Amino acid sequence: MPSINTDEIQEKRGLHYRLLENPLIYNLKTIILSLGRQSVCDYIQCNVNLPVSANVLDVGCGTGRHSRIFSCSFWGTDLNSKYISYAKKHYRGTFGVMDVMDLAFPPASFDFVFCVGLLHHLSDHQARRAVREMLRVSKQEGSVFLIEGVFPPKTNLLGYLLFKYDKGCYTRALDNLKDLLAQEGFCLKESNIPGSFPYQRVVFSNQ
């Protein structure tokens, strides 16, 4: 399976995608569309308790902002070299350019593995392969969180349209994502992270 063809995705999404390749624009978009809230960070802090000796992996880490909520060893990977360069300059942790479907870590390396907003950039086949890689590098007693946006009800028109026109090419409804991740042993842990409006962010876990 080849790595994700970012040129092909850029062609589909045009100027919008190319602008978001810039770390500063990406960060600004994140702040604006989240209304300045930190719902994902708050959720992780409330639901994940790790000793300072733990190893954490953020897959598809973007510009590395999630590293600030951990006091233990933090690793972040992303396919975008610009995001990784930014993360190395601004955040604590170890960051590297890496294909999510071919993580360069030995089996059972991490106590906690997570990804945020990654799966809607991957086809079903790619997503399953990525999830298997996350499970592979997670310790047997470790946990894997998949935090992902899904289409909210159409009554939430703003959230529905924002997600519909997200730069990801594989946006999904909750039931579709459930069916996909059930094939890899994941169960729905949270159907809507508090404070995520206008988005609907869900959490799947292997435990």
Please name which of 116, 194, 185 lies closest in space to residue 148, comparing C-alpha atoms: 116
pLDDT in tens, 9-33: 444 445 555 656 766 556 565 655 5
pLDDT of residue 193: 92
Residue 84 pLDDT > 90: yes
* Arithmetic mean of pLDDT, 58-69: 94
What is the distance, to the nearest Å, from the Cα of residue 67 to the centroid of all Cα atoms in its chain? 13
pLDDT of residue 165: 60
Which option is the CATH number for 6-40+81-205: 3.40.50.150, 3.30.420.40, 3.40.50.920, 3.40.50.300?
3.40.50.150
For the chain, the domains span 6-40+81-205
pLDDT of residue 151: 75
Kind of pairing between the strands at 187-190 and 200-205 = antiparallel
pLDDT in tens, 89-120: 999 999 999 999 999 999 999 999 999 999 99
Residue 37 pLDDT > 90: no
pLDDT of residue 195: 82
Q: How confident is the model at residue 63 (pLDDT cuts 50, 70, 90)?
A: very high
**Poorest-pLDDT segment among 26-40, 74-88, 99-113, 175-189:** 26-40
pLDDT of residue 2: 32
For 161, the enclosing helix (H) or strand (E) is helix 157-164
pLDDT of residue 3: 38
* Arithmetic mean of pLDDT, 120-136: 96
Place of tokens 């604590």: 92
Q: How confident is the model at residue 1 (pLDDT cuts 50, 70, 90)?
A: very low
Handedness of CA 50, 84, 189, 205 (dihedral sign): negative
